[in-house]
Amino acid sequence: MDNSDKICLVTGASSGIGFAIAKALQIDKYKVIATARRLDKLKDLGLELNNLFAGDLNSPDFQDSIVNYIYNTYGKCDFLFNCAGTLEVGTIEEIDIDKFASMVRLNVETTFRLIYKILKRFKKQGFGHVVNISSVLGTKVRPTAGGYAATKFAMEALSEALRMELTGTNIKISCIEPGLVMTELHNDWKIHPKDSMNIHEPLTVSNIVDTVRFIINQPDYVRIPKLMILPKDHNI
């Protein structure tokens, strides 16, 4: 399949799921525009330097610069992959409220802003696909992780409402809901969740890439609003 004319924007592309998706899309011959905070990590993707945007995605002006570049350079965008996000959990006594608030801003406000910016363009061009990296915690909750779950519930709610609004159009909205995936997200935790939750074989980023490929390669008339993927030991 020739994907060279398909334009993809991937956020959170410097590590973890975002990096893996951006790299896989490049391997599959898509044209990839990648954004994250760390330019050195973005360069590891091996993309054209002009297609790497290092900066603060919370900035509306920074978002505008990316979207305007895509449309001024390529005249369209086919896919938005929302992978940027942070995870802040903790007991009432231990939670870092400032980091918690930053998580809510990035996971909700910033992500929603970009979705709407891109969807306005998708509506004008008549097609497009938004793929949101949600979480199993976008459907369930557990103690100490209510704030993070709330941000993913919000993503799920917006995605479902947009899917309904866009029924009958050529614009798709999908949420991927992974269980525990081995990424940098838990590097600073005293006890890794694979140990605290007895998950002997967590998911890998390759599992998420396979899920993305399955979703985006469906026929035009097929919609996959949400797809949950869990490791076998993840009891939630």
**199-232 confidence digits (pLDDT tens):** 778 889 999 999 999 999 999 999 999 999 999 8
pLDDT of amino acid 193: 65
CA angle 54/57/59 to nearest 5° reads: 115
CA angle 19/20/26 to nearest 5° reads: 90
Counted domains in the chain: 1
CA angle 133/84/11 to nearest 5° reads: 95
- If phi > 0 it is left, if psi is from -120 to 50 it is alpha, else beta; for residue 46 that is left
pLDDT band at 236 (very low <50, low <70, confident <90, very high): confident
Residue 2 within a domain: no
Indicate the DSSP class of residue 223: -
pLDDT band at 18 (very low <50, low <70, confident <90, very high): very high
pLDDT band at 83 (very low <50, low <70, confident <90, very high): very high
pLDDT of amino acid 189: 59
Which residues, other chains included, contact 2 with Cβ-Cβ below 8 Å and sequence gap of 6+? 29
Which residues, other chains included, contact 203 with Cβ-Cβ below 8 Å and sequence gap of 6+? 178, 179, 180, 181, 182, 229, 230, 231
Q: Indicate whether 51 pLDDT > 80.
A: yes
Q: Is the pTM of this model over 0.85?
A: yes
Residue 160 within a domain: yes
**Helix axis angle, 111-125 relative to 146-165, nearest 10°?**
10
> Residue 104 has which token pair?
């809510």
Nearest to 212 by CA among 29, 4, 20, 45: 20
> Residue 87 has which token pair?
């995870």
pLDDT band at 146 (very low <50, low <70, confident <90, very high): very high
Residue 224 near residue 218, CB atoms below 8 Å: yes
pLDDT of amino acid 198: 65
> Residue 197 has which token pair?
């939750």
Residue 78 near residue 130, CB atoms below 8 Å: no
Question: Which range has the worst mean pLDDT, 43-47, 74-78, 120-124, 195-199?
Answer: 195-199
Residue 1 within a domain: no
CATH code, domain carrying 107: 3.40.50.720
| Percent of the chain's residues with pLDDT above 70 | 92
Residue 64 within a domain: yes
Range of the domain at 26: 7-229
Residue 156 within a domain: yes
Question: Which range has the worst mean pLDDT, 23-27, 81-85, 183-187, 209-213?
Answer: 183-187
**Helix axis angle, 111-125 relative to 60-74, nearest 10°?**
30
Q: Indicate whether 54 pLDDT > 80.
A: yes
Q: Indicate whether 1 pLDDT > 70.
A: no
The values of phi and psi at residue 177, to 5°, are: -120, 80
| Beta-ladder partners of 34 | 10, 52
CA angle 164/166/171 to nearest 5° reads: 130
pLDDT band at 185 (very low <50, low <70, confident <90, very high): low
Residue 236 within a domain: no
Indicate the DSSP class of residue 48: -
Q: Indicate whether 197 pLDDT > 80.
A: no
The mean of the pLDDT values for the chain is 93
pLDDT of amino acid 232: 86
